[in-house]
């Protein structure tokens, strides 16, 4: 048997075409590197990066004829996974199809029930387990006895545990096969300095069994950044850690070590991180800013305390406000994670969130208004919803109905604005920046202000009126005003 393995990253959603996501899948990169370290020939096929339909991806598998295919897929693309597995198995029944990742680990029983064509699922960290599977298949050994792996008829599947104890300090650098495509599209490499998260958020599927945070030595992280600079001329990096900083004194010392080492090496790098509001420390962030911190993704999620408590964030609204204020004072760019709509949303909460976003002077205010909770299978909040008789239908869908019926019209209004008017507002902003006509710029600025204020005021008013007809009238008003002004300006804005 030849030693060819294919690692396939399927598209993000069940839509007919891959998403425009053009980042590397770092988890697959780590598995590819580990397999190569153990003598295997590995190819990465990323549907999103290749921008190919599913037929094209399936044809690549059939052409390559590997003995083992590893699949990475998100819950939101379950039907794509279904079609992929069935079609590949029909053409090449001898190929072993193995799946891994957070979705697979948390949902393997449901997945096997609907996709028996899958031969196995890797539970938890994939590097060692997937390599053990490859070894067993290659040597015609019993692969069903491998730890942290399950299969459709596994009698012990209920007692199988995911592997979340990999010593990540010993792993090779992830394979960067797809990075040239990313850079070609004017983007940047991602990098991982840790795995796991100490948080306990009820909507998160990652922390169900992976709360122990494992960290790399910061010197090795900077060494990897240097290698990427040397090999790809990369000087900007996005850290994909669930939380880059961490919540303990030891974590802070580790970040200070990172800042010192990067400063001593005098490397011209910029980087972005993700963190929680309770980790925003002015002294620490100033040190990071000094050595190249470009932006922060801040997981706020809500400006309404009962919702923060329901989400088990362990954070207060005041902490969220303080975190944003600190970033503003330091002049650090930031984007926020915010969940405006979820199954338990009330009009009182919508009003509180609008007040919060206005109070914190969010630059991405409009972007925050349409974000909706995705309910991941087996996440704690899914169990909470089930107790209320609310479940995803089908089980792999991530959307659930609102408990309070008055929220649906408001959500529809927000979605219609986001899909129908906001793209035009974004195009107006581009036109504004390119125009040399001061009168035109004034009119565009006035239109932008009017549209945004009318939209936000409509949201505020609905929290008091709860009148669906009022929203329909406001949408007509917004569309009419938008259309008339752009026509007056002679602009062809879609």
- For the ranges 170-174, 254-258, 420-424, which has the lowest average pLDDT? 420-424
Our measurement of the distance from residue 35's CA atom to the centroid of its chain's CA atoms, rounded to an integer in Å, reads 26
Task: Say what percent of the chain tops pLDDT 90.
Answer: 74
Residues 6+ apart with CB under 8 A from 472: none
348, β-bridge pairs: none
- Burial environment of residue 371 by CB neighbours within 10 A (0 to 12, 13 to 18, 19 or more): middle
Q: What is the number of domains present in the chain?
A: 3
281 lies in some domain: yes
Q: Which of 257, 215, 201, 262 is nearest to 235 (CA)?
A: 262
Q: What's the rounded Cα separation, in Å, for the pair 90 and 205?
A: 32
CATH code of the domain containing 16: 3.40.50.280
Residues 222 and 119 in one domain: no
pLDDT digits (tens, 9 = 90+) for 146-155: 999 999 999 8
Residues 419 and 480 in one domain: yes
What pTM does this model have?
0.93
Which band of pLDDT confidence, cut at 50, 70 and 90, is reported for residue 16? low
The upper half-sphere exposure of residue 388, i.e. CA atoms within 13 Å in the direction of its Cβ, equals 14
Q: Give me the sign of the Cα torsion angle 34, 36, 42, 47.
A: positive
Residues 431 and 290 in one domain: no
Task: Say what percent of the chain tops pLDDT 70.
Answer: 95
Residues 6+ apart with CB under 8 A from 209: 105, 124, 161, 162, 164
The residue from 373, 391, 421 where one domain ends is 373
CATH code of the domain containing 308: 3.20.20.70
Asked if residue 431 has pLDDT above 80, the reply is: no
291 lies in some domain: yes
Residues 6+ apart with CB under 8 A from 380: 202, 203, 208, 312
What's the pLDDT score for residue 207? Answer: 62
Contact by Cβ (8 Å): 365, 422? no
Asked if residue 22 has pLDDT above 80, the reply is: no
Domain that holds residue 434: 406-494
Instruction: Tell me the pLDDT of the chain averaged across its residues.
Output: 92
Asked if residue 210 has pLDDT above 90, the reply is: no
Q: Which of 58, 63, 51 is nearest to 15 (CA)?
A: 51
Residues 224 and 336 in one domain: yes
For β-strands 236-239 and 214-215, DSSP reports them as unpaired
324 lies in some domain: yes
**Helices (H) then strands (E): counts for the chain:** 19, 13
Which band of pLDDT confidence, cut at 50, 70 and 90, is reported for residue 158? confident
Residues 216 and 343 in one domain: yes
Residues 151 and 211 in one domain: no
């Amino acid at each position: 048997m030849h030693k060819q393995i294919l690692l396939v990253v399927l598209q993000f959603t069940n839509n007919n075409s891959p998403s425009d996501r053009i980042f590397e899948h770092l988890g697959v990169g780590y598995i590819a590197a580990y397999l190569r370290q153990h003598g295997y020939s590995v190819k990465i096929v990323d549907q999103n990066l290749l921008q190919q339909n599913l037929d094209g991806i399936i044809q690549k598998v059939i052409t390559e004829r590997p003995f083992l295919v590893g699949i990475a897929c998100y819950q939101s693309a379950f039907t794509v996974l279904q079609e992929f597995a069935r079609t590949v198995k029909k053409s090449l029944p001898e190929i072993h199809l193995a799946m891994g990742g957070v979705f697979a680990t948390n949902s393997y029983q449901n997945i096997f029930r609907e996709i028996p064509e899958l031969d196995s699922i890797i539970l938890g960290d994939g590097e060692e387990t997937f390599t053990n599977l490859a070894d067993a298949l290659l040597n015609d050994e019993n692969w069903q006895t491998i730890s942290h792996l399950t299969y459709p008829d596994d009698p012990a599947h209920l007692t199988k545990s995911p592997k979340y104890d990999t010593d990540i300090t010993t792993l090779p650098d992830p394979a960067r096969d797809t990075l040239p495509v990313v850079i070609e599209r004017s983007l940047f490499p991602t990098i991982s300095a840790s795995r796991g998260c100490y948080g306990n958020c009820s909507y998160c599927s990652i922390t169900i069994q992976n709360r122990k945070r494992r960290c790399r030595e910061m010197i090795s992280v900077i060494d990897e950044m240097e290698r990427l600079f040397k090999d790809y001329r990369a000087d900007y990096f996005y850290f994909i850690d669930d939380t880059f900083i961490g919540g303990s004194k030891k974590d802070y010392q580790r970040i200070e070590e990172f800042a010192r080492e990067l400063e001593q090496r005098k490397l011209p790098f910029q980087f972005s991180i993700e963190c929680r509001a309770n980790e925003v420390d002015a002294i620490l962030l100033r040190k990071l800013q000094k050595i190249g911190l470009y932006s922060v993704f801040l997981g706020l999620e809500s400006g309404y305390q009962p919702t923060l408590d329901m989400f088990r964030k362990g954070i207060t609204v005041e902490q969220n406000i303080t975190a944003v204020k600190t970033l503003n004072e330091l002049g650090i760019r930031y984007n926020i994670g915010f969940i405006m709509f979820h199954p338990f949303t009330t009009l009182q909460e919508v009003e509180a969130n609008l007040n919060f976003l206005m109070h914190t002077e969010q630059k991405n205010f409009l972007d925050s208004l349409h974000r909706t909770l995705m309910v991941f299978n087996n996440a704690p909040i899914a169990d909470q919803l089930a107790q209320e008789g609310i479940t995803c239908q089908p089980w792999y869908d991530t959307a659930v109905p609102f408990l309070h019926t008055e929220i649906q019209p408001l959500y529809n209004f927000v979605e219609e604005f986001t899909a129908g008017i906001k793209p035009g507002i974004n195009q107006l902003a581009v036109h504004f920046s390119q125009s040399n006509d001061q009168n035109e710029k004034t009119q565009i600025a006035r239109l932008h202000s009017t549209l945004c204020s009318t939209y936000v005021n409509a949201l505020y008013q609905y929290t008091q009126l709860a009148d669906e007809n009022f929203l329909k009238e406001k949408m007509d008003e917004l569309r009419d005003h938008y259309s008339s002004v752009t026509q007056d300006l002679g602009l062809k804005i879609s």
